[in-house]
Amino acid sequence: MKDCRCLKKCMRGAGNNKVMSDRFRRLFFIGFSVSVLFTAGCSTSSVFNSYTTIMNPLIDGLKARKFDHALKVLDKHRKSNDKILYLLERGRIAQIKGDIEVSMEDYEATMEAVRHRDEKAIISASDIGAQTSTFLTNDNTIPYKGEGYEKVFLHQFQAFNYLAKKDIEGAGVEVRRANLEQHVALEMHEKEVRKAEEKAREKRIETEQASASLNAAYHHMDDIAGKVKNSFQNAYTFYLSGIVYELLNLPNDAYIDYKKAIEIFPDNTYLQRDVIRMAKALGMNQELNEYASRYAAIRAEVENGGGDTNTGELIVFFENGFVPQKREIKVPIPTPNGFLAVAFPVYTAKWPDVEPLALSEPERKDVLGETEPLCYVQALAVKSLKEKVPGMIVRHLLRSAAKTAFQYQAKDSVGVAGTILSSLYNVISEKADLRSWLTLPRDVQIMRNHLSAGIHHLHLEHKASGAFSDVDISMNQNGKTILRVIRTGSVLYTTAITF
Amino acid sequence: MYGLKKLIWSLCIAMGAGCATNVKYEDATKVETTTADFGSTDLQQIANKMVDSLLSFPAIVQTTNERSPVVFVETIKNKTLEHIDTESITDSIRTKILRSGKFRFVDMTKVNAAKKQFEFQNESGTVDQATAAAFGRHIGAEYMLYGNFASIVKKSDNVKDVYYKFTLNLMELETGIIEWADEKEIRKISERSLFGW
């Protein structure tokens, strides 16, 4: 706000030196419009102030078990343009804290906001307003809609809230919603990508050079993006949905979701065991033979195991770390006035090694095993950004045209001072869109094991970060116990739900 | 001067009234189409269809002409994509059937509360034993009412298509035979408007 006033004053000062009153009026108009834009920027947070600078102090708090400050800060954004994003973060933080009621409420509010967005009129006045102001400022003025993979996680995490309240039927509703979200995303997404590519092709001559310089900058993201087929289907969601269906005593539905999960992530041995076990139990002989020949070692193990009947199943979900954040790079884009440095978002984080969580039971001198990866959220995020590139380039070209026109207008009406101010404005307003759900895990791993009924004292150890924790769980005979472990920094947050 | 003051006052009041939230009573059975989600009209349609169908089914008419059998209601499985209170649907159905006088009901959800009262009456020593309700006089249910509630949702850019199917079955407990079953289908489509805020 300080900057706004100062700028306005400067412009007024410049105007006073020239006596001509119509120039003064024009100047005042520009000063006014700039200050209005600034005020808009100040109130809707991430337009001039990048989203990551708002979130990072709060994320640091999570690594030190400090939640309340973050919840309070995020609560202020409940009505902002980006409320979907802030509420996603808030729901997740409340969930890590273990405050199920708050988390449920926030996720519910997010769903309502997403739904409100989806059901908006096709030609909406407020959307046109946002689209117009993006031409004079940056992509951050477009209200945050939520990426496909984020909406899937929203329903999945809400399902965890229902499970924590032992409402399996409610969890069933949420996993079905998550599956529908993946299904709809798959259909709509192909159409959208095609449309954006067509639009980019229409403006081919202008975009070609821009794409070339951008592709060079995005090159290192290709490997990571290549690890997933698309940006929203994730095996973690299908796996949880399989477990919920097993709890609801619907083995057929569970088997279908385990099959979808293994299609996305074939290397997970726990998943391989599950499909073989379910195919056998449901008498799907042909599929059982296929899986058995593909995973021969696992088949033998499933055949030999399962002798002890006084056991329950322990299912461990390990949500590891935080998803990488976008950074801003300046890419030179050709314009009629020469090259213009345009800000683009980019993921620079490297692909990490798998960092498993080891579980043991020191009292019984028993090593239970290690978790195996099931979902790389990092790859989903990178892929999602890559898919948006054609649309981003077109918007940037339109924007640079609008900003150049603004520059000319300023030069005509106030001369050199106007040019300086408008270029200054261009530099300040040129900000990449760094928004994304930042409290999501970087990757998710699972473990599944049979344990005898009764109380178990488990020791969890994460070698890569040095985090460890002890947790007591209880097992019911023929029951299932879900142990969810979330790592933030070197702290492990654990929740155990026994069914 | 007085006239002006009066005018300002009345303007203020009129504006205040204009800004306040508007509340009014509506007919509870009026068709509601705020969104395509499960709503009061769907609940009423399901309850009406189920009760009419059950009470006019020939085999049931014959049985209920002779006596009023005792029924208990099992929960309806919610397999939809919404958090729907299925107990509220079965409550409506049970109330309507009960008021027809053809069936009698026992409530399995209140067994524990009733048991507590029994214990109080028979074991606490405070209640006159001549008036205490005796153990072991409950009537066993002859039929069980149970069902499923499923939905199929399809969404595209501008259209959302929701299909609901509510199935209800009446099973004779002793023989396990389903004496009656019916289903109610509901299909709703919501389209995004072309212009708006």
Does residue A441 have a pLDDT over 70? yes
> Are A169 and B157 an interchain contact pair (Cβ–Cβ within 8 Å)?
no
Rounded to the nearest angstrom, the minimum Cα separation between A247 and chain B is 14
- The range of the structural domain enclosing residue B98 comes to 37-121+135-190
Cβ atoms of A235 and A375 closer than 8 Å? yes
Share the mean pLDDT of chain A: 80
Residue A375 phi/psi, 5° resolution?
A: -155, 130
Instruction: Give how many domains chain B has, as a whole number.
Output: 1
B7 confidence band (pLDDT: 50, 70, 90): low
Residue of B nearest to A123 (CA): B195
Does a structural domain hold residue B5?
A: no
Nearest to B194 among A119, A122, A191 (CB): A122
Does a structural domain hold residue B16?
A: no
Does a structural domain hold residue B115?
A: yes
Does residue B185 have a pLDDT over 90? yes
Residue of B nearest to A129 (CA): B197
Does a structural domain hold residue B28?
A: no
Sequence-ordered list of residues with C-beta below 8 angstroms from that of A174, at least 6 positions apart, any chain: A155, A156, A158, A159, A162
Q: At what angle do helices A416-429 and A389-414 cross, to 10 degrees?
A: 160
Chain B CB within 8 Å of residue A173 CB: yes
The predicted structure's pLDDT at residue A64 = 85
Cβ atoms of A47 and A40 closer than 8 Å? yes
Chain A neighbours among B 23-52 (CB < 8 Å)? 35
- The closest alpha carbon to A484, from A78, A135, A163, A19, belongs to A163
Percent of chain B with pLDDT over 70: 89
Does a structural domain hold residue B21?
A: no
Residue A376 phi/psi, 5° resolution?
A: -105, 95
Chain B CB within 8 Å of residue A285 CB: no
Give CA–CA dist B110/B120, Å, rounded: 16
Q: Which residue has the higher pLDDT, A389 or B173?
A: B173
Query: Three-class SS of residue A370?
Result: strand
A62 confidence band (pLDDT: 50, 70, 90): confident
User: What's the CATH number where B114 sits?
Assistant: 3.40.50
Nearest to B196 among A124, A170, A184 (CB): A124
Give CA–CA dist B186/B176, Å, rounded: 29
Place of tokens 């834009």: A37
A335 confidence band (pLDDT: 50, 70, 90): low
- How many CB atoms neighbour CB B163 within 10 A? 14
DSSP code of residue A427? H
DSSP code of residue A362? G
- The closest alpha carbon to A92, from A179, A178, A166, A154, belongs to A154
B94 confidence band (pLDDT: 50, 70, 90): very high
Nearest to A180 among B81, B193, B195 (CB): B81
| Integer CA distances (angstroms), A7 to A134, A352, A422, A423, B192, in order | 21, 46, 11, 13, 43
> Are A173 and B155 an interchain contact pair (Cβ–Cβ within 8 Å)?
no
Nearest to A173 among B82, B158, B190 (CB): B82
- The closest alpha carbon to B89, from B36, B33, B48, B29, belongs to B48
Which phi-psi region, left, alpha or beta, contains residue A58 (left: φ > 0; alpha: ψ -120 to 50)? alpha
Does a structural domain hold residue B146?
A: yes
Ranges of beta strands (E only) in chain B are 70-79, 104-106, 143-155, 159-172, 178-191, 195-196
- The closest alpha carbon to A382, from A181, A217, A187, A230, belongs to A230
> Are A180 and B78 an interchain contact pair (Cβ–Cβ within 8 Å)?
no
Nearest to A173 among B80, B190, B197 (CB): B80
Does a structural domain hold residue B32?
A: no
> Are B196 and A180 an interchain contact pair (Cβ–Cβ within 8 Å)?
no
> Are A125 and B196 an interchain contact pair (Cβ–Cβ within 8 Å)?
yes
Q: What is the mean pLDDT of residues B87-106?
A: 92
Sequence-ordered list of residues with C-beta below 8 angstroms from that of A163, at least 6 positions apart, any chain: A171, A244, A482, A497
B56 confidence band (pLDDT: 50, 70, 90): very high
Q: Which residue has the higher pLDDT, A33 or A381?
A: A381
Cβ atoms of A165 and A158 closer than 8 Å? no
Give CA–CA dist A465/B127, Å, rounded: 66
Cβ atoms of A193 and A351 closer than 8 Å? no
Chain A CB within 8 Å of residue B81 CB: yes
- The closest alpha carbon to A51, from A439, A434, A441, belongs to A434
Cβ atoms of A106 and A87 closer than 8 Å? yes
Does a structural domain hold residue B18?
A: no
ipTM of the complex: 0.71
Interval A204-230: pLDDT, tens? 655 666 667 677 777 778 878 877 877
